[in-house]
Amino acid sequence: MMIRISASKIIVVASATSSIPVPSNKQVVHITHFDRIFPAIHEMQPNGILLDYDYLSTHIEKVLRRLQANPFYSKIKIYCYKSKPNTKADGLLKALGVQYFIYSADIEQPVQKNAAFKTLGEIVEARVVGALIEASI
């Protein structure tokens, strides 16, 4: 499943091996080190930034405070990708300016449903084909 991100220019801050699915119809710059976030913002002038919480855990508060303190960054939508929800941490991140949370379970859930529907479809197809074969004999 693709993430629903309304921003057309996005900076993704995550590890090089991150599995965050980003829509292909967006202009995306992938950054692997937190020191490159602000120079990239000035170069690209994005309207969205996606931060990997698990990757930036020790630096995320500093980055969010800097984004919130400068009015130049006020129009940038802030997305945060997390492996699982945490009420206490999510509350702090929201107070620091994160507008949208994306959890790995939300991304994986539709894939499991599709697999279930595929299996159900195969069972139904097998029964229908079996009935057609018996009818033709």
Q: What is the CATH number of the domain that holds 44?
A: 3.40.50.2300
- Are 53 and 82 contacting, i.e. CB atoms less than 8 angstroms apart? yes
Q: What are phi and psi of 132, to 5 degrees?
A: -70, -40
Mean pLDDT of the chain: 81
Q: What is the enclosing helix (H) or strand (E) of 31? A: strand 27-31
Confirm whether 134 is domain-assigned: no
Confirm whether 67 is domain-assigned: yes
Closest CA to 3 of 112, 118, 101: 101
Confirm whether 13 is domain-assigned: yes
Give the pair of three-digit tokens for residue 58. Answer: 């020790």
3-class state of residue 48 by DSSP: strand
Q: Is the pLDDT of residue 127 over 90?
A: no
Q: Is the pLDDT of residue 123 over 80?
A: no
Confirm whether 130 is domain-assigned: no
What span, in angstroms and rounded, lies between the C-alpha atoms of 48 and 3? 13
The answer to pTM > 0.85 is no
Confirm whether 132 is domain-assigned: no
**DSSP conformational letter for 15:** -
Confirm whether 93 is domain-assigned: yes
Expressed as residue numbers, the domain containing 58 is 9-107
Confirm whether 125 is domain-assigned: no
Tens-place pLDDT, residues 24-78:
677 888 898 889 999 999 999 999 999 999 898 889 999 999 999 999 898 999 9
Q: Is the pLDDT of residue 18 over 80?
A: no
Q: Which pLDDT score, from 0 to 100, does residue 62 have?
A: 93
Domain count across the chain: 1
Confirm whether 100 is domain-assigned: yes
